[in-house]
Amino acid sequence: MKVASAFVSFKLMILCSFIIVVSSSYNPAAIAMATPPHRLVTKLIHRDSVRSPYYNPNATTSDHARGAIESSMARYGYLKARKESYSFTTDDVRGDLLPEDHASALLVNLSIGEPPVPQLVAMDTGSTLLWVQCQPCRSCFNQYSPIFRPSKSSTYAYLPCESSYCDDPNVGYCGLGDDCVYGKVYGDGTTTEGQLGTEKLTFVTSDEGIISVPNVVFGCGHENKNSGIGKMSGVLGLGPYYVSLPYQFGSRLFSYCIGNIDDPHYNYHQLIIGEGAKIEGYSTPVTTYRGFYYVTLEGISLGEKRVNIDPTTFKRDSLGKGGVIIDSGSTWTFLAKDGFEPLSREVQELIGGVLEPVAPTDQDGRGHLCYKGILSRDLKGFPVVTFHFAGGADLGLDITSLFQQDGPDVFCMAVLGSDDEDRGTSVIGIRAQQYYNIAYDLNYMKLYFQRIDCELLED
């Protein structure tokens, strides 16, 4: 066992801290993933599910709503900060530091090493690297599962400085020894630092079987400071870069299906990585910019009526301002102000004469629209809101995807306006993606929307 320390400095940020690096015997063959599986299917766990360590049987509808909006607001702030000052070294699971009860929405159970050590990580389309906390810890936060100790695993190998991953400053760099190390800084100054290595991952499949994936490149975090991640072990990045799992698998394909996020007993959310991903439905072009997936939103309809929105509202300009990000880390949806306000007016015209408006509990100035009532009772027959994307793909939001029950007798539209400072960046969150299988084909740069009950995807 050898321990090295190095200083990490980040542009426009004063950050000095020691990196604790753990080395194991180097196996050159472990740098490249041995034959990846044809298809990896694993369940996703919503953070409010009974299968989640965050589950609180005493939490009220108001508690869930408050957690969703607070975490979404923080995530939006993070996305904005990433866009304004981008670097792969600032990957994050979400934005500013959050209390444990407002953690990332979608979680994945996996095990790492041999013998396998269970881990709980956040699925994030806005991050690139898989990383978990590792022993020995110079600084680690409390997590739900045991902290991985690479020295006890027979399948762990560190990545040396001559690795191609260490030649790329966006992934890792050479430490004082022969080890390839990494450092990532969160939007609030939280950091994770450690060693890049390869290890065997084991996933529980959708049919309760197991599948193992050898020689996955990951970050072994030995110093993790001030993290608000809470009970999770780290992050599973699905972002558009060659160190993320879809690229390591060689297929550049993945899909996820999100069902009813309000039902804590719903057990069919799932993630598929590899050639078996469900690439079905209508497609729209997807582009990548500063580590995020962008889609072209051309308009919005309320029922049969097209909302009067300037067609340039959702476009990203030549400086990278604006545009529409599809995101797994935000629950709520944010629309550019010139798109949000016309939609909000149309909704108010339909509901305003029937139900009593209620002032939102959070006065955020983003046009938060709330009414007295119960969704399932008072919005029967409310028309579907449809997002129309380039290429003819549509995303339909029924009442449970457009609104969220905020209390026993209050519901709110789960769409907010972006702030003026951000100049119109829009984010499509997972509530809007409910009841859809969302597929990413990064070979042809296509995104597919298929409305489906996720239970039907079970083999």
Encode pLDDT of 344-390 as tens digits.
999 999 998 899 999 876 545 556 899 999 999 999 999 999 999 99
360 with 330, same domain: the answer is: yes
Radius of gyration of the chain (CA): 22
58 with 149, same domain: the answer is: yes
Gap between the Cα atoms of 195 and 410, Å rounded: 48
The conformation of residue 375, written as its DSSP 8-state character, comes to H
259 with 288, same domain: the answer is: no
The 3-state DSSP class for residue 72 equals helix
Residue with tokens 């902290």: 147
- Contact yes or no for 288/240 (Cβ under 8 A): yes
Gap between the Cα atoms of 416 and 341, Å rounded: 9
Q: What's at 171, amino acid-wise?
A: V
Residue 318 in domain: yes
Q: Mark which of 217, 252, 273 sits at the end of a domain.
A: 273
What size, in residues, is the chain? 459
290 with 264, same domain: the answer is: no
Tokens of 316: 């990203």
Q: Does 188 participate in catalysis according to the annotation?
A: no
Question: HSE of 342 in the Cβ direction (CA atoms, 13 Å)?
Answer: 16
Q: What is the mean pLDDT of the chain?
A: 83
328 with 194, same domain: the answer is: no
Biggest alpha carbon–alpha carbon distance for the chain: 71
Gap between the Cα atoms of 40 and 213, Å rounded: 9
CA distances from 238 to 80, 157, 243, 321 (A): 19, 22, 9, 23
Gap between the Cα atoms of 327 and 429, Å rounded: 6
Residue 414 in domain: yes
The conformation of residue 166, written as its DSSP 8-state character, comes to G
- Contact yes or no for 272/254 (Cβ under 8 A): yes
pLDDT at 75 over 80: no
Which residue range forms the structural domain that includes residue 428? 281-457
**Among the options 48, 91, 92, 124, which is catalytic?**
124
Q: Specify the CATH number for the domain of residue 217.
A: 2.40.70.10
Residue 340 in domain: yes
32 with 66, same domain: the answer is: yes
Instruction: Enter the pTM of the model.
Output: 0.86
- Span 193-220, mean pLDDT? 91
Q: Burial letters for 287-313: b for 16+ Cβ neighbours within 10 Å, e otherwise?
A: eeebbbbbbbbbbbbbeeeebebeeeb
Q: Quote the number of domains for the chain.
A: 2
389 with 251, same domain: the answer is: no
Handedness of CA 113, 255, 327, 36 (dihedral sign): positive
Tokens of 44: 């996703």
Q: Mark which of 245, 273, 301 sits at the end of a domain.
A: 273
pLDDT at 44 over 90: yes
Instruction: Find which of 82-91, 207-216, 226-235 is predicted with most confidence, using mean pLDDT.
Output: 207-216
Among candidates 443, 107, 389, 431, which has minimal Cα distance to 277? 443
Q: Mark which of 273, 304, 326 sits at the end of a domain.
A: 273
Encode pLDDT of 389-409 as tens digits.
999 999 999 999 999 998 899
244 with 205, same domain: the answer is: yes
Residue 2 in domain: no
**Among the options 327, 406, 422, 441, which is catalytic?**
327
Helix, strand, coil percentages (3-state) for the chain, rounded to 5, are: 15, 35, 50
Residue 104: which pLDDT band, with cuts at 50, 70 and 90? low
CA distances from 321 to 196, 221, 442 (A): 33, 33, 23
| From 35-39, 62-66, 223-227, the region with the lowest mean pLDDT | 35-39
Gap between the Cα atoms of 254 and 441, Å rounded: 7
Among candidates 8, 9, 1, 22, which has minimal Cα distance to 138? 22
Gap between the Cα atoms of 326 and 206, Å rounded: 25
Gap between the Cα atoms of 6 and 174, Å rounded: 10
Encode pLDDT of 414-445 as tens digits.
999 987 655 688 999 999 999 999 999 999 99
Residue 65 in domain: yes
Tokens of 269: 């959310």
Residue 7 in domain: no
310 with 447, same domain: the answer is: yes
111 with 237, same domain: the answer is: yes
264 with 291, same domain: the answer is: no
Residue with tokens 């597919």: 448
Tokens of 424: 């119109």
User: Could you tell me where the DSSP H helices lie in 287-364?
Assistant: 337-351
Residue 442 in domain: yes
The conformation of residue 418, written as its DSSP 8-state character, comes to P
Handedness of CA 281, 282, 283, 284 (dihedral sign): negative
Instruction: Find which of 160-164, 294-298, 310-314, 327-331 is predicted with most confidence, using mean pLDDT.
Output: 294-298
344 with 403, same domain: the answer is: yes
Give bridge partners of residue 270 from the DSSP assignment. Answer: 43, 257
Question: HSE of 210 in the Cβ direction (CA atoms, 13 Å)?
Answer: 11
Give bridge partners of residue 36 from the DSSP assignment. Answer: none
Residue 79 in domain: yes
Q: Does 327 participate in catalysis according to the annotation?
A: yes
- Contact yes or no for 203/42 (Cβ under 8 A): yes
Residue with tokens 């790492």: 112
